[in-house]
Amino acid sequence: MSGRFLVVSASMGSGHDAVAAELARRLEARGHRVDRTDVLALLPAGLGPGLRSGYRATIRHLPVLYEGIYAAFFRPGAGPRPGSAPLAALAGRRLLDLVERWRPDVVVPVFHLAAQLTGHLRADGRLSMPSAVVVTDFAVHRQWLHPGNDLHLCVTAEAAEAVRRAVGRPAVATGPVVAGRFLAPAPGAADWRRRLGARAPGKPPVALAAGAWGAGTRLAATARLLASAGYLPVALCGRNERLRRELSRSPGVSAVGWEPDLPGLLAAARAVVDNAAGQTALEALAAGVPVVGYRPIPGHGREGVRRMAALGVSDRARDEWELVRLLDTLTAPGAVREGRVAAGRRLFVGDAAAALAEVAAAGRVAGAAG
């Protein structure tokens, strides 16, 4: 029997929306109905866009400030700690209105503010159907966690265990949620190899990821380092046109904006230098491309890069010499490269959509029995 799902995302960059879109695609392929909403749009007028622009500006220009915010609000710690539940509660009425109209079997937060919102409403008894949180981070910070939520679907078994210890609620590892086009052979890879080979003959292309907002620390310096080390740095600048223009002026650097054929580009790259442990890193692992974390953005980016490396699915470079050394090893054919590729692909063992369908089916059975 088909179910109905309400997926609650957030337009913070593009990663959470990408997860929401892929969940919707998988669920709809199984015959289910999916509605999607943005938790920022559920907040009082102007507050959501203000949060988004403030976060973007802080990540780009005031990373030290964001590190302090992360330490206070997100990192676990003893004693009373500030949280985002009061902010999330401001979206409660509008979410309940959507639930009343759409009548989902399961509400699915894919952003931590949405998880606080559904957990609060479930704990208060105002949300009658189960909420299943899809955690997108390797390092599960405390804003993902609310004991009111019924289930957490996590990227790794380690993350699921951390959730169970923290909130005493069910959590399972379903692996990353990545669009299927990254897991399949990329039709555009051969064209990208020709284009990049013509741009810098004999130089292995290495993608330099900066997220949808083109944010990062000393990206131009990293690109120049890679070029001087004999690589073709392909800077993924997202929607940051200013960054793309800046890096395009650097000799030996190829800078691209928002790229629709990212699967093809990643498949053509020999490695990805990542700074956030976000969706691009997961897409690279799905495509079979080694990932090296370097100069991560503060807070969740730094924690995620460390966690990925500790799990053995990526590497972490602490300085420029280590970055070059790692790339020299990982871009060359051999056991080290093959081992990293295999470790990354082993993450993709489950299906969050299948787990969500089981939650919906169990809820319908319980409702019929009641």
Regarding whether 336 and 290 lie in a shared domain, the answer is yes
Angle between helical axes of 112-123 and 92-102 (0-180°, round to 10): 80
Portion of the chain with pLDDT greater than 90, in percent:
83
d(CA 97, CA 277): 35
Regarding whether 160 and 251 lie in a shared domain, the answer is no
pLDDT digits (tens, 9 = 90+) for 143-162: 999 999 999 999 999 999 99
Residue 369 pLDDT grade (very low, low, confident, very high; cuts 50, 70, 90): very low
Regarding whether 191 and 116 lie in a shared domain, the answer is no
Mean pLDDT of 17-34: 97
Residue 243 pLDDT grade (very low, low, confident, very high; cuts 50, 70, 90): very high
d(CA 226, CA 253): 9
pLDDT value of position 83 = 64
Regarding whether 149 and 110 lie in a shared domain, the answer is yes
d(CA 159, CA 139): 7
Regarding whether 238 and 137 lie in a shared domain, the answer is no
Mean pLDDT of 42-49: 92
Q: Which domain holds residue 296?
A: 183-345
Regarding whether 152 and 18 lie in a shared domain, the answer is yes
Any residues with CB less than 8 A from the CB of 23 and at least 6 apart, and which? 5, 7, 34, 108, 110, 134, 177, 352, 353, 356
Regarding whether 136 and 200 lie in a shared domain, the answer is no
Regarding whether 161 and 30 lie in a shared domain, the answer is yes
Residue 362 pLDDT grade (very low, low, confident, very high; cuts 50, 70, 90): confident
pLDDT digits (tens, 9 = 90+) for 108-123: 999 999 999 999 999 9
pLDDT value of position 313 = 97
pLDDT value of position 308 = 97
Most distant CA atoms of the chain, gap in Å: 69
pLDDT value of position 286 = 97
Residue 58 pLDDT grade (very low, low, confident, very high; cuts 50, 70, 90): confident
DSSP 285-313: HHTT--EEEESPPTTHHHHHHHHHHHHTS
pLDDT value of position 368 = 47
Cα-Cα-Cα-Cα torsion 291, 294, 297, 301, nearest 10 degrees, comes to: 40
Mean pLDDT of 35-63: 91
Decide if pLDDT at 80 tops 90.
no
Any residues with CB less than 8 A from the CB of 3 and at least 6 apart, and which? 27, 32, 33, 105, 106, 357, 360, 361, 364
pLDDT value of position 77 = 64
Residue 267 pLDDT grade (very low, low, confident, very high; cuts 50, 70, 90): very high
pLDDT digits (tens, 9 = 90+) for 306-355: 999 999 999 999 999 999 999 999 999 999 999 999 999 999 989 999 99
Portion of the chain with pLDDT greater than 70, in percent:
95
Regarding whether 46 and 139 lie in a shared domain, the answer is yes
Count other Cβ atoms within 10 Å, centred on residue 19: 24
Q: How many independent structural domains does the chain possess?
A: 2
Regarding whether 197 and 339 lie in a shared domain, the answer is yes
CB 287 within 8 A of CB 182: yes
Regarding whether 309 and 190 lie in a shared domain, the answer is yes
Regarding whether 172 and 35 lie in a shared domain, the answer is yes
d(CA 17, CA 82): 26
- Arithmetic mean of pLDDT over the chain: 93
Decide if pLDDT at 370 tops 80.
no
Mean pLDDT of 208-229: 94
Q: Token pair 């030996």 is at which residue?
A: 252
pLDDT digits (tens, 9 = 90+) for 270-300: 999 999 999 999 999 999 999 999 999 988 8
Helix H segments across 134-278?
157-167, 180-183, 189-199, 219-228, 241-248, 262-268
pLDDT digits (tens, 9 = 90+) for 81-105: 566 777 888 999 999 999 999 999 9
Q: What is the pTM of this model?
A: 0.94
**What phi, psi does 232 have (nearest 5°)?**
-100, 100
**What phi, psi does 65 have (nearest 5°)?**
-65, -45
pLDDT digits (tens, 9 = 90+) for 256-265: 999 999 999 9
Any residues with CB less than 8 A from the CB of 349 and at least 6 apart, and which? 175
pLDDT value of position 272 = 98
CATH number at residue 62: 3.40.50.2000
